[in-house]
């Protein structure tokens, strides 16, 4: 059973269709890298999975359950954890309050496990969301998503705009999550880092999966992939 499976997915905004028959699957304990230039449908795909963008045809299955058309809060409860571009943390809450506000108890992730993953968050747990750096906000967003006990963790532009040392820490964290058995869908532009982490990749082009393959193909088909992702 796949942690996440999309079958012939069509979605868009009003009469403007953006996704055209996307087929995609992420297995248990698998990391899938999603690549593509801006405007090719990556964020729309994530929003369609979450129930934030209307699906006009096709199916979304999370851990074997058909969640197509469900409201976003039910999709989250079914097993989708989301780290959005822009993070969207609560600036008036402390780090610890941000982590606990949507935490669920029945699952492997606890507050102490998140602090073990991000010791800096524990050190600053009483600081408010508007008192921490962009890198700390990204750690907080990841930790908050993990505490929802997701079958799949989805990260949109996971390291965009972060300082180099923070990016290294985020990639280290994602490698640790993979080792722990967490399924991950990650949108990012760093091909070198993704080639070390991802089990498979998919390249979006004009609302379709134009290219997909294994980790090995991330290396052997590098020049072909780069033609799709560079302007």
Looking at residue 85, its pLDDT comes to: 78
Return all residues near 162 (Cβ < 8 A) that are at least 6 apart. Answer: 134, 135, 138, 170
Looking at residue 162, its pLDDT comes to: 85
Kindly give the confidence (pLDDT) of every residue in the chain, 231 residues in length, as a single tens digit, with 9 standing for 90 and above: 789 999 999 999 988 999 999 999 999 999 999 999 999 999 999 999 999 999 999 999 999 999 999 999 999 999 999 998 776 789 999 999 999 998 998 889 999 999 999 999 999 999 998 899 888 999 999 999 999 999 999 999 888 888 898 899 999 999 999 999 999 999 998 999 999 999 999 999 999 999 999 999 998 999 999 988 876
pLDDT in tens, 167-196: 999 999 999 999 999 999 999 989 999 999
Looking at residue 221, its pLDDT comes to: 92
What Cα–Cα distance (Å) separates residue 101 from each residue in 82, 94, 96, 150? 15, 10, 9, 15
What's the N-to-C CA distance of the chain in angstroms?
Answer: 37
Q: How many residues does the chain have?
A: 231
Looking at residue 231, its pLDDT comes to: 63
3-state secondary structure of 80: strand
Query: How many domains does one find in the chain?
Result: 1
Distance CA 203, CA 226 (A): 10
Which CATH number does the domain housing residue 56 bear? Answer: 3.40.50.300
User: In this structure, what DSSP letter does residue 55 have?
Assistant: E
Residue 127: which domain range? 4-229
Query: Which residues in the chain belong to E strands, given as ranges?
Result: 4-13, 16-26, 31-35, 55-62, 65-66, 80-83, 152-156, 183-187, 200-205, 208-214
Nearest to 42 by CA among 223, 201, 231: 201
Nearest to 40 by CA among 214, 211, 199, 221: 211
Looking at residue 47, its pLDDT comes to: 95
């Amino acid at each position: 059973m796949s942690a996440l499976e999309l079958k012939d997915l069509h979605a868009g905004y009003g009469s403007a269709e953006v996704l055209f028959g996307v087929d995609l699957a992420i297995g248990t304990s698998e990391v899938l890298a999603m690549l593509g230039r801006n405007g090719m449908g990556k964020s729309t795909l994530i929003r369609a999975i979450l129930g934030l963008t209307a699906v006009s045809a096709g199916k979304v299955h999370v851990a074997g359950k058909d969640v197509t058309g469900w409201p976003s809060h039910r999709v989250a409860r079914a097993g989708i954890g989301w780290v959005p571009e822009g993070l969207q943390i609560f600036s008036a809450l402390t780090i610890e309050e941000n982590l606990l506000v949507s935490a669920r108890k029945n699952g492997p992730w606890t507050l102490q496990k998140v602090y073990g993953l991000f010791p800096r968050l524990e050190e600053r747990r009483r600081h408010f969301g508007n008192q921490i750096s962009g890198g700390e906000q990204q750690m907080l967003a990841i930790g908050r998503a993990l505490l929802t006990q997701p079958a799949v963790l989805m990260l949109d532009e996971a390291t965009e705009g972060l300082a180099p040392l923070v990016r290294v820490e985020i990639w280290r964290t994602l490698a640790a999550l993979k080792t722990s058995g967490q399924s991950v869908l990650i949108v990012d532009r760093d091909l070198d880092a993704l080639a070390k982490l991802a089990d498979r990749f998919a390249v979006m082009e004009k609302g379709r999966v134009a290219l997909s393959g294994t980790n090995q193909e991330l290396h052997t088909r590098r020049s072909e992939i780069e033609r799709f992702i560079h302007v």
